[in-house]
Amino acid sequence: MAEAERGIGTPDVDDQAVASAERPRGRRRILALFGVAVVAYLLDLGSKMLVVARLEHHEPINVVGDLLRFEAVRNPGAAFGIGEAFTVIFTIIAATVIVVIARLARKLYSLPWAIALGLLLGGALGNLTDRIFRAPGVFRGAVVDFIAPSHFAVFNLADSAIVCGGVLIVLLSFRGLDPDGTVHKD
């Protein structure tokens, strides 16, 4: 009788309790994603502003002997300076990554995934900002790199955030944790 009184398509009390319990948890994960992204973006932006103001057109600074130095480098290409002629394509890829992460955020119920995607989002925004607003022009701008370990490519904090986010995503995938919070054993 209670089933007939409830009406067709009306969720029962248990369904409503589950839905309301998931909403705040999902909101917190989305806030975590965007919080991590904002922190990564601001650290990257601030460090690049400092490098441009204080280090560009100056001698590199040795931080740890010959192992690590800070050196201002403008990189129009991708990682390791590859693809300098494809700056517009890298801009489109970064913008696409940002859109995909923003769309995925709605289905996010895992804090580790929120952190990983936040790192990717913050790093992509950091390098996209350079590509849009730095010389030689819109969508062709060179990224400011400055962390220069010996015998390795020069990079920035946005690159570090992207790599850390990518490694975390691989680890989460190997552990079977999905962005929606479910765990599978494949």
The catalytic residue positions are 145, 159
Report the candidate in 130, 151, 123 with the shortest Cα–Cα distance to residue 74. Answer: 130
Judge residue 5's burial from the number of C-beta atoms within 10 Å of its C-beta, 0-12 exposed, 13-18 middle, 19 or more buried: exposed
- Cα(50)–Cα(54) distance, integer angstroms: 6
Rounded CA separation 80/63 (Å): 21
Q: Residues 18, 26: contact at Cβ < 8 Å? A: no
Three-state SS string over 56-79 comes to CCCCCEEEECCCEEEEEEEECCCH
Of 108, 101, 168, residue with least CA distance to 128: 101
Written as one string, the DSSP assignment of 2-34 is: HHHHH-TT---HHHHHHHHHHHHHHHHHHHHHH
